Structure 1
């Protein structure tokens, strides 16, 4: 495919002066808005095109849970969270670090605090004040945000085709940053449909990330406990163990502790057909201490009453033990079962409910400035790229950092011309 033109054709056409050059950003999420801010701050005219009626819908959705901006752990612990993508993402994150993201938010009037888990949140604990301040800054920089403009690929000579409320039109930006997101929560705008509009560019198929899993609950357990939280638990799969919380759903289980292991579990299910997750209902008690409590005589108590009194288990935890006993764990010592309830995971939840997605533009397609090697002048950032990370601030940090890196790459590319 041809190179994206540096600027519109000079001169007059049908007596009308050709418009001055501008940079285009496709996608008004965090990565796209950061790229737009970076380009505009360098003096470029910028237009942001988004298919939805309003910008940053997924950011606003994330803000309902407090808007976890980033994490406070040192970079030598932070960067490995990106696993196989660490080498490509690390320079961008080092250049726009968690500390830089906090300072950026503070400059927008959104001071932050660090929670007990090390996660960093705006004091407002929601996204809307930050987004309003950010859009006001962009407006002050002259950035135009154009909703209901959906990218439809390229014309044969490399222009961008857009569906707009006024019909289809083509544009020829001086440089373009793609930031249209992955494929999770498609109703919020990122449906991954763009993957078919980049011929000659390798795109890894999308998979859910940071998602829950389906479990074949009995009807009795499902009807009684769906929606019930599991607090102060630990989950173990293979050599990995994590403490946290989860939620029983009608289909299975989800929540922060599950998300931390979700990539391993997803890949194991794809390889083996299912996966067994071990649930520790009393991680604060050692096996010996728990066994001494549960080896005592029941004295006529039902199993439910005995587990409640001797092990301090809430009803949902007792229900999980009973589910396991009914599913073949009757020969297991009770203390061992409480410390390792086997949960057979049948399948991951789909992209429509996943927090994020894996897959996207293969990182080998990018140069060091986040420009597509096959298309000079075309840059990509955010969840369009093939990386994944756990929840905890790592997702938003990488989106913002790669958006800035792609914006800086576009600035350097334009300056060289």
Structure 2
């Protein structure tokens, strides 16, 4: 049997291994950590958002400038295909009101156990504590607890993740190896990262509180979504949706009343308030609640007395922050292997027989099912590409 080695036991790597095994190759999956799919399991702690149940055009829009080259892969393994795959592994799913798809158990571990059992039945071997360090005399080189070892492979799939959450295995160390082999790489950048804030003491009572009913805008990106106020800053889907624009230098604003027009906000603020304090007046006429009022006070004090000026701030409150959280604390990263370095099957042009998948590739998307969908889709595509290359390359 021809031998395939998949390096990285996350969703992309396991999907590639499945495709290679179904093509009757002998498959070994290696993982640097002591257990597999750690980031996948961590994502499952918040419910495991598998995909977004929406038409392909809406799905592809989430991938921005990478949509063109990702399109054939995601189209071939779209939101419906992801759901079918999970159900075949015995998982009951449900679709939330926003279109996000979750296992009914709201955990990743049952799906992972079933998947690993299926891979084992296909003959896939998983070896943990194997950190890939490059090649030696044409063979794959690994650092293990027993020292350096080599593995022979007729074809290789690299699926080692990006450069965030290094404690879970995605440390980006592979970039140095590929760069040394002549592969041009895009620099890593934090994606889906929280904002760092230097809060005043006024905000302490709001730590841990969710920010709801607002819209976030940065550059030409606007999205509604929640965030959480923490001692370090703001975290959550609403922030992640504008992360890329903020990273690229766009100013961030919050619309504290996205369902009410500027004119209506100004009209409400113009009501006579008598001897009532401004904060009580805001509470009565706008019903912002303590969290939105707290943000308004934090970023706009002293508040203007003019109703129109104050309405303008409420509809476009500038957020004073000190940048994104460090890349290692981001949910995902942009950067990595550009599509120009790959052929149509995701094989590295400079390294025949070596394919790449998942977050190693230079693409990014917001949370909400898009990340996992593309990881599964590119892993499947790379696995199939690798299996089809074997007759040509060997």
- With structure 2 as the length reference, what TM-score do the two structures score? 0.95
Deviation of the 1:322 alpha carbon = 1.4
Q: What is the rounded CA distance, in whole Å, between the counterparts of 1:285 and 1:87 in structure 2?
A: 36
1:89-104, aligned counterparts within 5 Å? 89-104=70-85
Q: Is the contact made by 1:63 and 1:126 (CA closer than 8 Å) also made in structure 2? A: yes
Moved more, 386-395 or 211-220: 211-220
1:66-81, aligned counterparts within 5 Å? 66-81=47-62
Q: What is the rounded CA distance, in whole Å, between the counterparts of 1:276 and 1:152 in structure 2?
A: 41
Gaps of 5+ in 2: none
Deviations 1:245-294 (A, max 9, x none): 111222322211111111111111xxxxxx43111112222222222222
Deviation of the 1:184 alpha carbon = 1.1
Aligned twin of 2:288: 313
Q: 2:244 aligns with which of 263, 285, 290?
A: 263
Q: Is the contact made by 1:276 and 1:345 (CA closer than 8 Å) also made in structure 2? A: no
Aligned twin of 1:61: 42
Aligned twin of 2:189: 207
Q: What is the rounded CA distance, in whole Å, between the counterparts of 1:330 and 1:210 in structure 2?
A: 37
1:335-374, aligned counterparts within 5 Å? 335-374=311-350
- With structure 1 as the length reference, what TM-score do the two structures score? 0.90
1:210-249, aligned counterparts within 5 Å? 210-221=192-203, 223-249=204-230
Q: Does 1:297 align with 2:272?
A: yes
Aligned twin of 1:183: 163
Deviation of the 1:345 alpha carbon = 3.2
Q: What is the rounded CA distance, in whole Å, between the counterparts of 1:197 and 1:82 in structure 2?
A: 27
- Runs (4 or more) in structure 1 with deviation over 3 Å come to 327-332
Q: Is the contact made by 1:30 and 1:59 (CA closer than 8 Å) also made in structure 2? A: yes
Q: What is the rounded CA distance, in whole Å, between the counterparts of 2:245 and 2:95 in structure 1?
A: 28
SS at structure 2 position matched to 1:344: coil
SS at structure 1 position matched to 2:34: coil
SS at structure 1 position matched to 2:258: coil
Q: What is the rounded CA distance, in whole Å, between the counterparts of 1:248 and 1:351 in structure 2?
A: 19
Q: What is the rounded CA distance, in whole Å, between the counterparts of 2:342 and 2:303 in structure 1?
A: 51
Deviation of the 1:226 alpha carbon = 2.3
Q: Is the contact made by 1:233 and 1:244 (CA closer than 8 Å) also made in structure 2? A: yes
Gaps of 5+ in 1: 1-19, 269-274
Aligned twin of 2:67: 86
SS at structure 2 position matched to 1:348: coil
Distance 1:329 1:365, change over 3 A: farther
Deviation of the 1:408 alpha carbon = 0.4
Aligned twin of 2:134: 153
Aligned twin of 2:174: 194
Distance 1:285 1:51, change over 3 A: same
Query: RMSD in angstroms over aligned alpha carbons?
Result: 1.6
Q: What is the rounded CA distance, in whole Å, between the counterparts of 1:375 and 1:316 in structure 2?
A: 54
Q: Is the contact made by 1:215 and 1:343 (CA closer than 8 Å) also made in structure 2? A: no
Distance 1:261 1:325, change over 3 A: closer
Distance 1:328 1:277, change over 3 A: farther
Moved more, 85-94 or 399-408: 85-94
Deviation of the 1:328 alpha carbon = 7.8
Q: What is the rounded CA distance, in whole Å, between the counterparts of 1:281 and 1:46 in structure 2?
A: 53
Distance 1:42 1:390, change over 3 A: same
Q: What is the rounded CA distance, in whole Å, between the counterparts of 2:251 and 2:19 in structure 1?
A: 46
Q: What is the rounded CA distance, in whole Å, between the counterparts of 2:300 and 2:39 in structure 1?
A: 41
